[in-house]
Structure 1
C-alpha cells in the first residue's frame, strides 16, 4: 500500500513545471558565477574560522605578548593604539560583510537555478538548521545547528577560564602575601575579557537589516532569540567581573575610593565601569519575561539606555579594547541610522478591515521597488497610540507581484497598545457609516522594514505544511499569495501539495481566509484543516436559527477606509537593495578608518594624549561621525534614487480595492476547507499538551503515509506549546524515519519582543 502511495505521490505534477523554464544566463555565464560564488564562500569561511581562532587564542600569553609588542610599534603611527586590535578582531568581520555583497547579488541571480537543482534531487536529506534537536528545554526549540553554536560558546568559556586559571596559578605560586586579593583580581580581569568577546556577538543579531544576517539567512525573529541568550551570558560575566573587583577592593580597604576613581591604574575609568554595570543590570532586569510581558513600556524605554552603555563602555575599557567590538557595534549603528531615516515619514494607510475577535487588517501603501519575501515582518508605530513604541507584525500580503503597491498586516487586540488601535479603527468604521460626521479619526502609521529571509525557503520544498494558531495565520496568507502568484506569472515552483492546519477559538475568525485569492490554483493542491476549539457545532443565525455555512463564515467581514496622509513608506530598508547596502557599509567603514587615522596623526600623537578613557570616547565619536557624515551622504543618494524609482510608477495607490467583492472569491475555497468543531477540554498543563499532541500525531502520520520519500517543509506560527509539540513530532519522525516516508524540515515563525 505504501509503495502505491509513493508511486502516486511521485507522479503528482508540480504547480509549474520546472523543465519548461528557460535559463536566464547561458551555461558559460552561469558556470563563472557559480565559481565566483564558491570562491567568495570559501574566503568568507576561512576569514570566519580565522576570526574564531584569534578569539580562542587571545588568552594565550604568547598572543598577548605579540599584540602588546605590535601595539607598541603602532602607538605613534597613524594606526594608533587601537590599530592592531581593530585589524585582528574587527577586520575579518568587516571583510566578510564586504564580500557578502557580491555573494548575495550572485545568489539572487541564481535563485531559479537553485530551485531547479532542488527539483532534480531524488532523495531527501537532513539539514542541521531544520532538525529540531531539543524541543522541551529552557531555551525552547533548539535546532542541531544552534546546538553546535552553543557548544562552541561553552567550549570557548571553559577554554578561556582554564587558561586564565593556569596563568593565575603560576603567578600565585611566586607570591608570599596578599594572595586572596590577587585571586579576585585575576578572576575579574579574566571574566572581563571573556565578556568583551561575548559582547562582540551580542550586537550582531540585533542589526535587523545587517548584511551579515542576510548572508547567513537568519530572520530577525531567530536573531532576537540569540541576542537574548547572549545577553544573559554577557550580563552574568560582567556582573561577576564587577563583583570580583569590588571584593578585591573591599579586602584591601579601598572599596569606596576605587569605585569613585575616574582614572584607574591602566588609564581607564573605574567609575565609568560601575555606571556601565548599573546600566546593563537595569536593561537586563527590565527585559525579563514577567516585566516585558506586563510592562512592555518599561522594557522598551529602558532598552534605549544602550546609547549610554556604549559610551560608558568606551570610557571604561578604552579605545584599544573597544576595537574588539568595533565591527559589530558599527553594523548596529548603520542599521539604527537607516531605520531612523526610513521611519521619519508616515506611511499612507489605504484601508482597514475589521474582523471578529478584535482582529484588524491594515493596508499600507508601499513603493513598487520595495521588495521582500513572504514570512517577513515590519515594525509599526502608530502616532495616535504612542510616539515611541514600535511593535512587530508579520506581513500578510504577497510580495511577488511586481506591480503591487500595497502591504498589509493583521493586528489582534491582545494588549493595551493593540487594543487602542482596534478602538480607533472601530471609531473610523462608525464615522464612515454616519455621513453627517465631518471630523473623522486618523491613524498615523510609521514603518520600519520589512525584514525577513533572504531566500524564500517556503518555495524550496515539494510538500509544505503550514501550522498556525489564531492570528498566526497572518504570515501564511502571504505565503499562499506568493505561491498563487507564481502560478499566475509562470515562474518555477516546486510545490505539489500544501496543507494548512489552523486552530482558532471561534468560527467567525474564518473570515480571515477571505483575503486569499485562489482563482488560478487547482483545488487538490491545497487542503485547509481548521479546528474550532471553543465551539462544538456550527453557529446558528440569530433570526432564523439555521446553521451558518462555512463559505458564509469565510466571506463575511466589515471593511472601511480610514483617513490618512497620502504618502508611501520609504524604500530605505536594510533588507532592500543589496548594492546600496554594500555602498552604505563600505563608505562608512572607510570613513571610520580615515577619521581614526586623522585623529591619531593630527591630535593624539602631536599632543601625546594618553591611552585610556579619553581615547575610548574619541573612538566612539569617530564611529558616530562616520555613520552620520559618510553613511548619511550615501543614504541621501539612496533616498533620491528611491524617490526617482517611485516616481516612475503610476499613482495608482488609491485604485487599490477598498472593498472586497464576494463574487470574486473562489467558490472552491470553502470546498478546500475542512472545518472540525469540538470543544477543547478546559485542562491545564500536561493535559492540553497531550490534546495538541494527539492532533499533531494524526496529521503527521497521514502525511507520512501519503506523501512518500520527499522533503517536507513544516512552518509553525503559534504559541510555544504548539511550536514545541510540532517540533517534537518532526524530530521523532525524522529519527525513526521509514524507507518510504518523508523528512520533515522544521521552521518556526514565532517570536516576540
Structure 2
C-alpha cells in the first residue's frame, strides 16, 4: 500500500476536488428528488393536488400539459447526465494532471461490495446491490398497493350497476390498469444500463458492461407486468362482451391496438432471451432484440407522449448514445496486423489515434462485414493507452460461430491482405483503484485472462515511468490445454517505450488441467499477418475527440433545447389552434409521432454536427500517422514454454519466465491460494467461467476473508 505522503494533494487536486464535490452534492440532491417524485406518483397528493397546480402554472400555448411532464420527469435526469459529463471531464483532467505524483483520485464508492448471494437466478450479488434491489421492489409494491387502494376506493355497487357490470369486473379493470402503470416504473429505468457511454452510471461506480444484469432483471419484470396487464384486459373484455375493444385505435386516449403490437414485440424479445435459445441461436437473439424500436414506438402510441415522459429520460440518453455509436460504426478502421495464436485465438492490432485514451479492462465492439454485416461482438482491449501510443489491440478466442469463422479466415487464408473492420468504443471504467490495495489477485479461466493483461500493462507503465509504489500482483490462470499458455506471452507489450517488469512484484501460477508437461524441444510457431493500408481506413479515435465528455454534455443539453423550441413552435401555431379554437381535439397518435420525430431529428442533427467538427481534427491527425511497421515476433516470446530465443526485450522476457510457475494435470486450489495472500487490503478480480467466478465469490464472502475485496469481470450476457 502506498504511504500517506504519496497521496498528499496538490493545489490543483484540491481545486478539482472542490468542484467535483459540489457537482456530487448537486447530483445527489437531484437524484433523491427524482426518487421522491416516484414515491409520490401513486398518491392522491401528487395526482390531485401537486400535479394539477403544476400543470396550471406550466400549461401554456407552447407545450400544453406536456410542459409539466417535461419539467417533472424528464429534465432532472438530463440535468444529472450533464452534471455527470462535467464531473467526468474534470476527473479525466485531474487524473492526467497528477499522474506523475501517482496520486489516486478519490472516486465514488463502487456498488460492488462483499458478495451476499453467489448462486441463483440473480447471479453474484453484493450486499449493496441486494439492498437497492429490495428498495426497488419495495417501490413497486408501494406504488401498486397505493394505486390499487385509491382505485378500489372509487368502486361502489352503484357505480358497477350504472356500468352494467359486477364489482369484481370493475376491480379487474382497475387492477389491470394499475399493473400497467407499475410496468412503466420499470421501463423508466430499463435503458440506463445499456447506454455504453453513459455519464450517469460512473457516479455509482458502474460501467455498462457490469450493469447488463440490471437490464436483464428489469427486462424480466417489465415483461411480466406488461404481459399480466394485457392478459387482464383481454379477460376483462371477454367477460364483459367488449372483445371488440382489442381492435380499437382511438384518436383520443389509449390506443389498444398499439399496446397489443408493443406487447407482441416485447414477447418476441423476451422469448429470445431464454438462456438455451440465446446460447444455441445467438443470431436469433441478436436480431430479435432490435424489436425494441417497435416496442417503444408502439408503447408511446399506446399511452401518449404525456405519460411516456415518465420513461423518456433514460431512453433519450440511450438514443444519444446509440446514434453516436452508429456514426462511429460508419468508419472502417485500419487493421495493421493479426497474430494467430496456437490456442485458436487471434490478436488484432489496429492503428490508433493519439487523442484516444482508455483505462484497463475496457472493451471494444467489433463488426467484420465479411463474417456478418449486422453482428457486433465485445472483446477485451489488451493494449495499454500509455505504453502503446500507436497501437490498439484486442484478443479474440474462438468459442462460437462468429469467432470460429474469424479464426479460420485468418489462419487458413494466407493470401488475405486486407480486412474490412468497424468498431464501437472503447468503453470502460472512468477510473481504476488498483493502487489503493496491497495486493491484486487476478483469477482467470481460459480467455478470461485478457482483461488482466491490460491491468498488468498499466502497472508496468506506472512502475517504469513514474516509479509508483504498485501492489503485488498474483495471477492465477487456468487453461485446458498447453497451447493456451501463449496467452501469458501477451502480458509483455511490444512498445516503443522502454520498460522493465523486474521491479514489478509479479507472481504467475498457471494451471494446465488437461495434458502433461511437453517435451523440452517442443515449440509452436505463430502466424503473423500484415495487412496493406487502404485509403478509406482510419485509425481508431474518440468519436467526440479528447474532450468527449464535454461534447456529450453539449449534445444532450442542446438537442433537448432544440426539441423544446421546435415542439413549442408547433404547439403554439399548429396544435393550440386546433385544441382551443375549434371543437376538434388534436390527434393523440399524431401528437406522439411529432414528438418522436422531433426528438430523433434534434439528436441526429446536433450529434452529427459535433462528430463532423471533431472529424476534421481526426482527419488531420490521421494524415500524420504513418503506417505501423512495428516488428511482430513470429514465435511466442516466452522462451521458457516454447524453447525459442526472444531476440528483443530479453530482460522483460526473463523476468516473466522467472515469475511463472506452470502446474500440469491439476486445478488451482483457490481457497488455499486466496487465504495465503497477505495484506490488509487485497483486491480479487475473477474473470472466466460462471462456476469459477461463483467459487471465488463464495470464498471472498466468508468470514475468514475480511481483507478480500471481490469484483467479477464478465461479458457473458
Deviation at 1:74, TM superposition (A): 4.1
- Which of 256, 275, 288 is the equivalent residue of 1:289? 275
For 1:13-92, what aligned pairs fall within 5 Å after superposition? 19=5, 27=11, 29-65=12-48, 66-71=50-55, 74-92=58-76
- Does the 8 Å contact 2:351/2:392 carry over to 1? yes
- Which of 313, 319, 334 is the equivalent residue of 2:320? 334
- Does the 8 Å contact 1:235/1:281 carry over to 2? yes
Q: Match of 2:704?
A: 736
Alpha-carbon distance in 2 for matches of 1:190, 1:149: 23
- Given the alignment of the two structures, is residue 520 of structure 1 paired with residue 495 of structure 2, yes or no? no
Q: Match of 1:619?
A: 595
Q: Match of 2:670?
A: 696
Q: Match of 2:393?
A: 408
- Does the 8 Å contact 2:256/2:302 carry over to 1? yes
Deviation at 1:86, TM superposition (A): 1.5
- Which of 588, 597, 612 is the equivalent residue of 2:559? 588
Alpha-carbon distance in 2 for matches of 1:522, 1:81: 68
Alpha-carbon distance in 2 for matches of 1:414, 1:600: 54
Alpha-carbon distance in 2 for matches of 1:193, 1:575: 42
For 1:462-481, what aligned pairs fall within 5 Å after superposition? 462-481=438-457
Gaps in structure 2 of 5+ consecutive residues? 494-498, 580-584, 638-645
Alpha-carbon distance in 1 for matches of 2:183, 2:675: 47
| Change beyond 3 A, Cα 1:574–1:530 | farther
For 1:421-436, what aligned pairs fall within 5 Å after superposition? 421-428=406-413, 430-431=414-415
- Does the 8 Å contact 2:7/2:104 carry over to 1? no
Alpha-carbon distance in 2 for matches of 1:203, 1:575: 26
SS in 1 for 2:540: coil
Once the two structures are overlaid, the 10-residue window that deviates more, 450-459 or 496-505, is 450-459
- Which of 618, 629, 638 is the equivalent residue of 2:614? 638
- Does the 8 Å contact 1:465/1:498 carry over to 2? yes
Deviation at 1:506, TM superposition (A): 1.0
Q: Match of 2:345?
A: 359
Q: Match of 1:531?
A: 511
For 1:241-252, what aligned pairs fall within 5 Å after superposition? 241-252=229-240
- Given the alignment of the two structures, is residue 263 of structure 1 paired with residue 230 of structure 2, yes or no? no
- Does the 8 Å contact 1:571/1:639 carry over to 2? no
| Change beyond 3 A, Cα 1:247–1:116 | farther
For 1:201-600, what aligned pairs fall within 5 Å after superposition? 201-255=189-243, 257-263=244-250, 267-401=253-387, 404-428=389-413, 430-431=414-415, 440=416, 442-490=418-466, 493-517=468-492, 520-522=500-502, 525-535=505-515, 537-540=516-519, 546=520, 548=522, 557-563=526-532, 565=534, 566-572=537-543, 577-600=548-571
Alpha-carbon distance in 2 for matches of 1:110, 1:532: 43
What is the aligned length? 684
Deviation at 1:524, TM superposition (A): 6.5
Deviation at 1:35, TM superposition (A): 2.2
Alpha-carbon distance in 2 for matches of 1:452, 1:219: 6
SS in 2 for 1:531: strand
Per-residue deviation, residues 526-557 of structure 1 (Å, max 9, x unmatched): 0000010001x3112xxxxx565xxx67xx53
Per-residue deviation, residues 354-411 of structure 1 (Å, max 9, x unmatched): 112311111111211111111000110111101000011111111223x612211111
Alpha-carbon distance in 1 for matches of 2:420, 2:213: 30
Per-residue deviation, residues 97-141 of structure 1 (Å, max 9, x unmatched): 1112222222224337699898899xxx99762311111121110
Deviation at 1:262, TM superposition (A): 0.6
Alpha-carbon distance in 1 for matches of 2:434, 2:320: 30
- Does the 8 Å contact 2:544/2:614 carry over to 1? no
SS in 2 for 1:527: strand
Q: Match of 1:102?
A: 86
Alpha-carbon distance in 1 for matches of 2:160, 2:322: 52
- Which of 129, 137, 141 is the equivalent residue of 2:112? 129
Alpha-carbon distance in 2 for matches of 1:392, 1:127: 23
SS in 2 for 1:140: coil
| Change beyond 3 A, Cα 1:115–1:170 | farther
Per-residue deviation, residues 500-541 of structure 1 (Å, max 9, x unmatched): 000001112112222222851236600000010001x3112x
Q: Match of 1:674?
A: 661
SS in 2 for 1:156: helix
| Change beyond 3 A, Cα 1:564–1:236 | farther
Deviation at 1:69, TM superposition (A): 4.7
Per-residue deviation, residues 688-740 of structure 1 (Å, max 9, x unmatched): xxxx6xx111101211xxx23x22111111000011110111111xx335xxx
- Which of 669, 681, 688 is the equivalent residue of 1:718? 688
Deviation at 1:231, TM superposition (A): 0.4
SS in 2 for 1:130: coil
| Change beyond 3 A, Cα 1:423–1:441 | farther
- Does the 8 Å contact 1:443/1:564 carry over to 2? no
Alpha-carbon distance in 2 for matches of 1:459, 1:613: 55
Q: Match of 2:642?
A: none
Pairwise CA RMSD: 2.7
| Change beyond 3 A, Cα 1:250–1:633 | same
SS in 2 for 1:211: coil
- Given the alignment of the two structures, is residue 142 of structure 1 paired with residue 125 of structure 2, yes or no? yes
Alpha-carbon distance in 2 for matches of 1:494, 1:712: 15
- Does the 8 Å contact 2:470/2:504 carry over to 1? no
Q: Match of 2:625?
A: 651
SS in 2 for 1:386: coil
| Change beyond 3 A, Cα 1:33–1:571 | closer
- Does the 8 Å contact 2:100/2:466 carry over to 1? no
Deviation at 1:20, TM superposition (A): 7.0
Q: Match of 1:750?
A: 714
SS in 2 for 1:304: helix
Q: Match of 2:641?
A: none
Q: Match of 1:180?
A: 168
Deviation at 1:494, TM superposition (A): 4.4
| Change beyond 3 A, Cα 1:191–1:118 | farther
Alpha-carbon distance in 2 for matches of 1:53, 1:117: 40
| Change beyond 3 A, Cα 1:20–1:98 | closer
| Change beyond 3 A, Cα 1:630–1:287 | same
Deviation at 1:72, TM superposition (A): 5.2
TM-score (norm 1): 0.86
Alpha-carbon distance in 2 for matches of 1:381, 1:298: 17
Deviation at 1:452, TM superposition (A): 0.6
TM-score (norm 2): 0.90
Alpha-carbon distance in 1 for matches of 2:374, 2:343: 27
- Does the 8 Å contact 2:511/2:666 carry over to 1? no
- Does the 8 Å contact 2:434/2:471 carry over to 1? no
Alpha-carbon distance in 2 for matches of 1:483, 1:464: 11
- Does the 8 Å contact 2:460/2:501 carry over to 1? yes
Alpha-carbon distance in 1 for matches of 2:455, 2:105: 23
Alpha-carbon distance in 1 for matches of 2:546, 2:285: 26
Q: Match of 2:582?
A: none
Alpha-carbon distance in 1 for matches of 2:567, 2:473: 55
Gaps in structure 1 of 5+ consecutive residues? 1-9, 432-439, 541-545, 681-691
